[in-house]
Structure 1
Amino acid sequence: MPSKADQRLTLPDGGQSLPVQVSAGVAALRQSPAADAEMVSQLLHGETVHLHHEDGEFGLVQSQSDHYVGWVLMAALSAPVLEITHRISVPRLHVYAAPSIRAAPHFVLGTGARLVGTGEREGRYLKCERAGWVREDLLSPIATLETDPAAVAERFMGTPYLWGGRDCLGIDCSGLIQIAYDACGIACPRDSDMQFNWFGTAIEDWDTPGRLQRNDLVFWKGHVGIMLDAETLLHANANHMAVAAEPLTQAIERIAKTYGEPIGARRIDLASSVGVTPDWLTRQ
């Protein structure tokens, strides 16, 4: 379980704990309040954070979906927090300034982003608060969940690898896993070490042929991938610099030359995990 010593999930004492919402298409969560600081994660449109305090144009926030802490541009945030009505049901889409394919695009959103529909419609388009006009047939009601994390992850095939990324235009290995399970209504930790320690249950003798199955997670120190079947791994990786599928045996052989052998595999009970608030998400 997370420790109070884990600074990734810990805000300093004090602060205002003001709930605000991401209104940018995507916002970088940085290690320090500087535009060129390391991006440790990303916040997606519609996600809620608690603002601790401001420092110039940045604010120190904690994500309410995974408790990750970092600095984000205040211009990317809005208040008050509005009730989410829809989620993206396709890999990515444009949000437009008007209900027309000829209208100026505001930004691109992808799987994981959330929208606040206003109820105003024109043709096939729905107007969304703090975003713009979106084709409604490319959205799902927020209560409609996916049932296959691996299928969600496959939507990101070919997406460029991006350290700290959780977005349809750039994603890292653990971000891919988190977004895939989130789409199914299952809370997943942000980083691969957290996922290995706190997510699902260990698979004994996972390296026995035929032991793994779809949606199992295979871990290395600092890396994770999701199984598409008993033999095929899908992962965002710096070798392909993209989300790619390959035989697990091939991935193990290649990765071992640099980072060593896998450290284990874990299986998530999908039926019992939907909508559950795990212990790691309730501890401060």
Structure 2
Amino acid sequence: MLPPAFAEKVEDIVPVEQDSKEQVEEQTYVDVSVMSVWAEPNNTRKLDAPALSNPVQPWEWTESMTLDDKLWLVGNLDTQALYGMEVEVLKEEGDWTKVAVEGQSTPLHEEGYPGWVPSRQLSESTNFAKMQDRDMASTTASTAFLYEEKELETEIIEVSFNTRLPVVSEQEDKVMVATPSDGNKWMAKEDITVYEDIEAIPAPSATDLVETAESFMGLPYLWAGVSGFGFDCSGFTHSIYKAHGITIPRDSSVQAEQGEHVARSDLQAGDLVFFARNGGTGDVHHVGMYIGNGEMIHSPNSRSTVEKVVIDESDYANSYHSASRYLPNES
């Protein structure tokens, strides 16, 4: 159990009608717009305060960091999780909780990507758990606001691309969604797509994947990032595929091991291309998405932003390793 101070704040989510005999277990959910998952507890800096609070201030955090500040994150920050995502609690230590992030597959833990988070950023909720069989509002904008009222005037929280929340009610141009601990809020329909469930997300074409990736052109890189506030290389590819209903591993090295391996001469748009140390023969350390004509789109490093490059003219020209396809071959 989480410390009482960090348990669910309110219980005003509209409940789902249930058989009186049916019991829904209390689950643990991410209670901030984007939750950073750290390698160790209590190993953060003063400048990380906007990422450790509840609510968080992701833009304030990322925009305040120098290049050296960003490079420090390598090895200290492992991944991120989005508002409303379920996590498995593994261990508690003071004001920190070790969790496994469900939906981010990794050999590191069978339940999901493991790491440490401030306990204040988690919420235990039975009501939110009951809502999980409702229609799902999936955020398609790079970021979007949740509003207090249906007039969409009072901004409550800015959430990321790929944030998925249960739909309470739906109107012509807006929807009411449930949140983990703050009751029901409103979202503009232009920022979301409503699906019955994850399985109802249409199978994408290569063009769909590329267009989604291109919508983030110019977004600054963030080590361990998986959100519209900043991606790392594999967080970028993982998130693009996830938005289209396809779950792939979280890290580039594991992404390279799965999918259908394809020869470089057979590359198609949407394929993932991997790069490795020692001239492409060593450990995989980078991934991009092939977009055709010898180009890829990727989130390269802390010095740069999401960009398109010609592979053979890029810094990765001499480190090509392999490619994997997670879409069926196009006819």
Q: TM over 0.5, yes or no?
A: yes
Task: State how far apart, in whole Å, the 2-side matches of 1:18 and 1:62 are.
Answer: 16
For the pair 1:215 / 2:270, whether they are aligned, the reply is yes
Task: State how far apart, in whole Å, the 1-side matches of 2:151 and 2:77 are.
Answer: 34
TM-score by length of 2: 0.67
More helix by share: 2
Task: State how far apart, in whole Å, the 2-side matches of 1:236 and 1:146 are.
Answer: 24
Aligned pair count reads 243
Match for 1:236 among 295, 299, 313? Answer: 299
TM-score by length of 1: 0.78
3-state SS in 1 of match to 2:292: coil
Match for 2:211 among 151, 175, 182? Answer: 151
Q: Which residues of structure 2 form unaligned runs of 5+?
A: 1-24, 45-72, 105-111, 277-284
Paired letter, 2:161:
T
Paired letter, 1:255:
Y
Task: State how far apart, in whole Å, the 2-side matches of 1:239 and 1:53 are.
Answer: 31
Most deviating of 180-189 and 93-102: 93-102
Residue 124 of structure 1, CA deviation: 3.1
Match for 2:122 among 58, 77, 80? Answer: 77
Match for 2:167 among 117, 124, 128? Answer: 117
3-state SS in 2 of match to 1:241: coil
Larger Rg: 2
Q: Per the alignment, do residues 30 and 146 of structure 1 end up closer, same or farther by CA in structure 2, a change over 3 Å counting? A: farther
- For residues 236-275 of structure 1, the aligned pairs below 5 Å read 236-238=299-301, 241-251=304-314, 254-255=315-316, 261-270=319-328
Aligned residue in 2 for 1:49: 87
3-state SS in 2 of match to 1:71: strand
Aligned residue in 2 for 1:202: 261
Residue 58 of structure 1, CA deviation: 1.6
Q: Percent identity?
A: 26
3-state SS in 1 of match to 2:299: strand
3-state SS in 1 of match to 2:256: helix
Please say if residues 166 and 176 of structure 1, whose CA atoms lie closer than 8 Å, have aligned partners that are also in contact. Answer: yes
Please say if residues 148 and 186 of structure 2, whose CA atoms lie closer than 8 Å, have aligned partners that are also in contact. Answer: yes
Aligned residue in 2 for 1:29: 37
Paired letter, 1:71:
W
Task: State how far apart, in whole Å, the 2-side matches of 1:265 and 1:225 are.
Answer: 10
> Which of structure 1's runs of 4+ aligned residues deviate more than 6 A?
none
For the pair 1:136 / 2:136, whether they are aligned, the reply is no
Q: Per the alignment, do residues 98 and 146 of structure 1 end up closer, same or farther by CA in structure 2, a change over 3 Å counting? A: farther
Task: State how far apart, in whole Å, the 2-side matches of 1:171 and 1:40 are.
Answer: 12
Task: State how far apart, in whole Å, the 2-side matches of 1:108 and 1:245 are.
Answer: 27
Task: State how far apart, in whole Å, the 1-side matches of 2:145 and 2:35 are.
Answer: 16
Task: State how far apart, in whole Å, the 2-side matches of 1:18 and 1:30 are.
Answer: 24
Q: Per the alignment, do residues 239 and 167 of structure 1 end up closer, same or farther by CA in structure 2, a change over 3 Å counting? A: closer
